């Protein structure tokens, strides 16, 4: 990252630049427990591989990680069974919404990538071969990397499980094709509970730091992804991490990133730092409006785009 101002000054400037974007999106109303989150919340955190941290706003307030957890569940699955993951999940951008059904049926139950809902459900099914409770496995892995105990919001998990009719249809469809091998109820419960992990921006930036450090976590002083796997995770983030607006995000921001409908986004500056931002109002693709704007301004101010 090239900047003359301190990271604190950069974040302060970003916080001013994003103000016009508040009110341009909506919270995730299809998940009742997320609909009531204060839309004016905004937090941002940066964690460098050298141990420097900078935060602003609501960076220490927990929010629902949602699909950001898919990054960590995929890493765990690849660590567990390696490239066998790719026999059940693809690596291509979907070009369709994250819960799209017809594409999945046309392609005989093989999801396009592990970051759309069908792909993440397939990864959950894989983890059920490895551990009894994939949700706790993912929560504890993220917590270890963040050096902080994380929790699962039971109200959010229940809300998602009770209203996740389309995800249940997706899981049943993949079960019919043999992509899913465990009972649908078990996969759904583990997936919804995983998505309900709560985390702060500061914790999320720390948890994702191995992606900026060739798989090594400076927080826990341990290699969690071998270098080849780390490169592949970053590649998937760049091409698939922001659903069907990934091209626009790459054009604007130019960083590998993963978003969640809780309003969080985590981005990676390879070899340098991770950035986590949270603001609950979403665009029509399910990505934080203010969060994407914040990362765009940060990328421009620091010239940290990888593209």
Angle among Cα 290, 100, 240 to the nearest 5 degrees reads: 55
Domains 1-61+208-306 and 64-199 share a fold: yes
Q: Which residues of 256-293 are buried (b: 16+ CB within 10 A; e: fewer)?
A: bbbbbbbbbbbbbbbebbbbbbbbbbbbebbbbbbbbb
- 84 burial (CB, 10 Å; 0-12 / 13-18 / 19+) is exposed
* pLDDT for 185: 97
Shortest CA distance to 179 belongs to which of 135, 121, 93, 220? Answer: 121
In the numeric block, the tokens 């950035």 are attached to 275
CATH superfamily ID and name for 64-199:
DD-peptidase/beta-lactamase superfamily (3.40.710.10)
Write the CA distances from 291 to 82, 266, 273, 281, integer angstroms.
32, 9, 17, 9
Whether residue 234 is annotated as binding a ligand: the answer is: no
* pLDDT for 117: 92
**197 CB contacts (<8 Å, ≥6 apart)?**
64, 65, 69, 135, 138, 139, 142, 150, 151, 152, 153
Decide: helix, strand or coil at residue 238. Answer: helix
* pLDDT for 245: 86
Write down the domain spans for the chain: 1-61+208-306, 64-199
Q: Which two tokens stand for residue 172?
A: 């049943």
- 61 burial (CB, 10 Å; 0-12 / 13-18 / 19+) is middle
* pLDDT for 60: 98
**What residues act catalytically?**
67, 70, 191, 243, 261
Mean pLDDT by 10 residues, the chain (307 residues): 77 97 89 87 97 97 97 98 96 71 83 94 98 98 98 95 93 95 98 98 98 96 96 96 89 96 97 97 94 97 90
Return the CATH class of domain 1-61+208-306: alpha beta
CA distance 287 to 28: 10
Whether residue 243 is annotated as binding a ligand: the answer is: yes
Whether residue 167 is annotated as binding a ligand: the answer is: yes
């Amino acid at each position: 990252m090239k900047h003359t101002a301190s990271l604190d000054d950069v974040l302060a400037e970003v916080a001013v630049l994003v103000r016009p974007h508040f009110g341009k999106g909506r919270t995730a109303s299809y998940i009742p427990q997320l609909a009531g989150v204060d839309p004016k919340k905004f937090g941002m955190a940066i964690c460098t591989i050298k141990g420097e941290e900078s935060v602003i706003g609501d960076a220490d307030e927990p929010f629902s990680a949602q699909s950001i957890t898919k990054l960590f569940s995929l890493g765990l699955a690849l660590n567990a069974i390696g490239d066998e993951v790719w026999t059940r999940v693809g690596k291509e951008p979907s070009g369709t919404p994250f819960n799209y059904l017809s594409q999945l049926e046309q392609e005989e139950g093989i999801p396009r990538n592990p970051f759309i809902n069908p792909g993440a459900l397939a990864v959950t099914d894989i983890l059920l071969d490895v551990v009894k409770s994939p949700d706790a496995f993912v929560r504890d892995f993220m917590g270890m990397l963040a050096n902080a105990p994380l929790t699962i919001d039971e109200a959010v998990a229940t809300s998602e499980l009770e209203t996740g009719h389309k995800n249940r249809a997706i899981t049943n469809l993949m079960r019919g094709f043999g992509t899913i091998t465990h009972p649908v109820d078990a996969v759904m419960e583990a997936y919804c509970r995983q998505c309900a992990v709560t985390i702060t921006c500061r914790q999320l930036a720390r948890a994702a730091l191995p992606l900026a450090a060739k798989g090594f976590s400076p927080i826990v002083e341990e290699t969690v992804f071998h270098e080849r796997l780390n490169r592949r995770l970053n590649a998937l983030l760049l091409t698939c991490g922001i659903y069907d607006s990934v091209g626009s995000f790459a054009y604007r921001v130019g960083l590998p990133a993963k978003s969640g409908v809780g309003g969080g986004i985590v981005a990676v500056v390879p070899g340098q730092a991770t950035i986590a931002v949270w603001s609950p109002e979403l665009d029509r693709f399910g990505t934080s409006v203010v969060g994407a704007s914040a990362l765009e301004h940060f990328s421009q101010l620091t010239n940290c785009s990888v593209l």
